[in-house]
Structure 1
């Protein structure tokens, strides 16, 4: 079987979202599962993990998969060529965790031996869970903050108070890598975006507009706020996600409700090794989800991990912000 050829067929027939000007298609595809590791190939078939847009495959996309020989429906498929196709939940963090586990199993024979024993003892889920701490430790050593440091070097000349956001910001707050990440999020003042093309020369810059990638051209006006940046030298994550934010008058403004603010000198923290990051209570406000939407799986886990480390002031601020934006939010009780 040739997983590379199978991945190429998926991009060809489902369409490649990265070619721009289309609202659907393949965003990313990677090999996975123990069957994709040569020393464990006898355990079960290898897998392709497919990030497909929209996240729930359409009837046309499922029909295309069947024409390619796949059998199944929804998020789980098999191919008579001998592999499985998995469409992971984008909000679960599963894809990144599986990539970290596979990297460990490929590079550590001892870990592969331990995985085999755990698999025979309790199956795939048991083995994945048993090796999760070792996979995270390996990921922290081999990837860790490398993407953040890489981008920080590029943005060092920027004449503006940029900062790391989302999952990597929580890692910087905690002082360790808590989980693998799909991408690296960076906050940039909207009025500093004109400096980006020179700082990221050679990068591919796209703007998601109405669900379709368009080439980035400055200035990007509100309500549009995202610039997705790709470069082969950015290893360990799929992309750099630049978030244009109002930082005017020395104040961080919450994009979803600009009435919620923090003084910039409080919102912007700096790690011991000089990496600027958004304060954790503001990160968690984003991770709480938009009004009427429950937090994603990985965001709920991030909250449970970080909430005990918040200061009393941070807890009070987050409680007030959530009371304003999402009355009845499930996190409110634990913040009292």
Structure 2
């Protein structure tokens, strides 16, 4: 019997440490992204987080599905959340997969699929923006990998939500000269009229 669809707001996200524990031993690239990545950089939880996002290489989806056994996977796109069949891969146009804790009937983590390589990080909205993965993935004091803050802010620049503006204002105080320079160049390319350019 197919379970009833889970409401989109039924989130009880894991802490990044829980995700890291479940992915311990994985030899393939992954890292926390979104607001939690900034807080791993800050070393403190600066605000509540309604979800937890992490990214993997698209070609590694099957490996991570196995590592996260016990979860049910759903393709997310254009406001729709559709269950993936047990052995199905996400369609090429899907870059986001929500992971459902079937027993608890809660969403636990949001998996992003990226098209870079183990060595190169590629910005999904403009493939000309890329960097060595070793420069873009950092580790928290607890050893949790997360995407560098300047890359997180590049993603956030698209939305300009209240939380994104707050995240930017807090991060701006801590970004060094090289980080600011990279972020300014990337935003100028992706969002040439963005207000953040005036303060970077």
* TM-score when normalising by structure 1: 0.54
| 1:230 matched residue in structure 2 | 100
The answer to whether residue 117 in structure 2 is matched with residue 248 in structure 1 is yes
Cα displacement string for residues 57-114 of structure 1 (whole angstroms, at most 9, x for unaligned residues)? xxxxxxxxxxxxxxxxxxxxxxxxxxxxxxxxxxxxxxx9xxxxxxxxxxxxxxxxxx
| 2:146 matched residue in structure 1 | 277
Cα separation, 2, equivalents of 1:260 and 1:332: 17
Q: Displacement of 1:276 after TM fit?
A: 0.3
1:309 is paired with a residue of what secondary structure? Answer: coil
1:19 is paired with a residue of what secondary structure? Answer: coil
2:15 is paired with a residue of what secondary structure? Answer: helix
Q: Displacement of 1:239 after TM fit?
A: 3.1
Cα separation, 2, equivalents of 1:157 and 1:228: 22
| 1:181 matched residue in structure 2 | 49
Contact 1:165 1:186 in 2 (8 A): yes
Q: Displacement of 1:233 after TM fit?
A: 8.3
Q: Displacement of 1:157 after TM fit?
A: 3.0
The answer to whether residue 70 in structure 2 is matched with residue 206 in structure 1 is no
Cα displacement string for residues 217-248 of structure 1 (whole angstroms, at most 9, x for unaligned residues)? 542243311110122789xx953110011231
Change (3 A) 1:276 1:332: same
Cα displacement string for residues 281-319 of structure 1 (whole angstroms, at most 9, x for unaligned residues)? 000000001xxxx51111110000111111111100110
| 1:309 matched residue in structure 2 | 174
Cα separation, 2, equivalents of 1:322 and 1:209: 24
Larger Rg: 1
Cα separation, 2, equivalents of 1:209 and 1:271: 30
* TM-score when normalising by structure 2: 0.88
Q: Displacement of 1:172 after TM fit?
A: 0.7
2:75 is paired with a residue of what secondary structure? Answer: strand
| 1:326 matched residue in structure 2 | 191
Contact 1:207 1:216 in 2 (8 A): yes
Q: Displacement of 1:151 after TM fit?
A: 0.9
Counterparts in 2 of 1:115-154, with a 5 A limit? Answer: 147-154=15-22
Change (3 A) 1:193 1:238: closer
Aligned residues: 194
Contact 2:101 2:107 in 1 (8 A): no
Gaps of 5+ in 1: 1-17, 21-25, 30-50, 52-95, 97-142
Cα separation, 2, equivalents of 1:233 and 1:160: 27
Which of 11, 14, 19 is residue 5 of structure 2 equivalent to?
19
Cα displacement string for residues 262-295 of structure 1 (whole angstroms, at most 9, x for unaligned residues)? 2100110011110000000000000001xxxx51
Counterparts in 2 of 1:213-224, with a 5 A limit? Answer: 213-217=81-85, 218-224=88-94
CA root-mean-square deviation:
2.4
Higher relative contact order (CA 8 A, sep 6+): 2
Regions of 4+ moved over 6 Å: none
Contact 2:70 2:102 in 1 (8 A): no
